[in-house]
Amino acid sequence: MSNTQVYWRNQAKDELHKYLKSQKIEKVARNVIFFLGDGMSIPTITAARIRQGQLNNKTGEENVLSWEKFPHVALSKTYNQDHQTPDSAGTATQFLCGIKTNSGVLGVDGSVKPKDCSSMTDKSKVTSIADWSLEKDKSVGIITTTRITHATPGAAYANTAYRNWEVDWQLENVTNKENCPDIAKQLINDYKSSIKVLMGGGRRYFLPSNESDPVIGLNNKDGRRDNRNLIEEWINDKQQRKVNYEYVWNATEFNNIDPRSTEYILGLFNSDHMSFELDKASQPVPEPTLAEMTEKAIRTLRMHDNNKGYFLLVEGGKIDWAHHFGEADYALSETIAMADAVAVADNLTSDEDTLIIVTADHSHTMTIVGYPDRGNPVLGLVKTNGKVAMAGDNLPYTTLAYANGPGAVQSPRRNLTGEHTDEKDFHQQSAIKMGLETHGGDDVAIFARGPMSHLFQGVHEQHYIAHVMAFASCVGEYAKEKDCAAAIANPPKSKPVNPNPSNRGEQNTNSIFLLMLLVFITV
């Protein structure tokens, strides 16, 4: 650890010179890759940065996550139209579809009431950056560590009054349910021929409940009750169209996919959500990592992008689940896994033609507390000046804590001395007792690099993100060249100025000056 004046001054100068040399990339984004860390609050990023550094035998604070190297950073206001603290469905609709909407709904505007299919109309439905990209003949991919029908991926292709209507039987007692087809059905009915890469979990919602799942066998009781096998329907579509495809459900099959010869991929790697990174090694069937899925998706999309480019949505969705469980180690591990995926995308693409955005949908209540020494284990007890710090009750406390959640303190508070607070199943203590920890309402960060990434600066409404993606890649409302980044990258040639009353005096003055100069020269 260096603490000399020269070290810190030189570090600051290097950073200053880096930004002095940086320039805006005012070009059209051929490709857009959008990374969404579900629940990835700013404290989560800070703690994950330190954790990653400490896992590499450093003090941690000086570490830099992959997206923290991006030149442009802003803040996003995450509230939903009807809630101060948002949910993941309303926020996903905001940053993918470009409008503010209500909590709990997907792909619809604020006129739709959550869980009310009767409020759904054709006018209330909205389209997404995925739709806009498809309209311009771009290739599209969606990757997540949650179910592929979950809130964030669902907002890219579904229109529904309730995010939890992922499978048919969840609408059995819903009035006017014909207005709200289940999310899995919408994906296969409407997008099976267009979205080229689909990878995540949620296999059970694509299989009939009376058919065997390759992992859980006949225990697929939460499967479809309409007897539709949506996986087979997806495969049949590819066979009828005579295109190259792969359906895979484990890491071994996934690893065998050749992006050069495979145009369509459907990967459903778990009956439910995919496994946490910390649990992958113990799973009976191996699953690919988020970084591996990201690499496969990019290589596939750019091989089969119709010479128009692509849009790729990548969600690190289990950060959110770990926070809800009050287990910080899981949350930080998932954040680091997403940083690995961003690094892959950064290395495989150029900032001259690919816009990469990294952000979160909402925050959580985890915070970093106390005055721990430099290099103190971020999952450990707070130590100040080498000694374990004591709270007002004369008991030690951890650096990370939650405002609410399952780890609520009792009276008297549990003594953490000698406990392994860095174990993955440890629940950080919280102030308020709740079965699951809740989202937070604070702003989240946006990191960006590539064409038009400089449009992220300051504090933005969350739905602004979709407009930047569309403007940069010339799709959706910005499809015409005069309305998008193309107008800046290729401005029209200037035309000769026609005389008009406002500049005649100036022209006459110039003419007199030139005449006098000519007389002087001839004399």
Cite the active site residues.
88
End-to-end CA distance of the chain: 78
Reported as half-sphere exposure (CB side, CA atoms, 13 A), residue 389 has a value of: 17
Residue 358 is encoded by which pair of tokens?
């990294």
> How far is it, in rounded angstroms, from Cα 213 to Cα 217?
5
Question: Nearest to residue 220, comparing CAs of 237, 203, 197?
Answer: 203
Please spell the DSSP secondary structure of 54-85, one letter per residue: HHTTS-STT---GGGGSSEEEEEE---SS-SS
Question: Nearest to residue 51, comparing CAs of 364, 327, 333, 423?
Answer: 333
Written as one letter, the residue type at 121 is T
Please spell the DSSP secondary structure of 453-505, one letter per residue: GGG--EEEETTHHHHHHHHHHT-GGG-SGGGSHHHHHSPPPPPPPPP-TTTHH
> How far is it, in rounded angstroms, from Cα 318 to Cα 326?
12
Residue 223 is encoded by which pair of tokens?
């499967």
159 in Cβ contact with 186 (< 8 Å): yes
CB atoms within 10 A of CB 454: 17
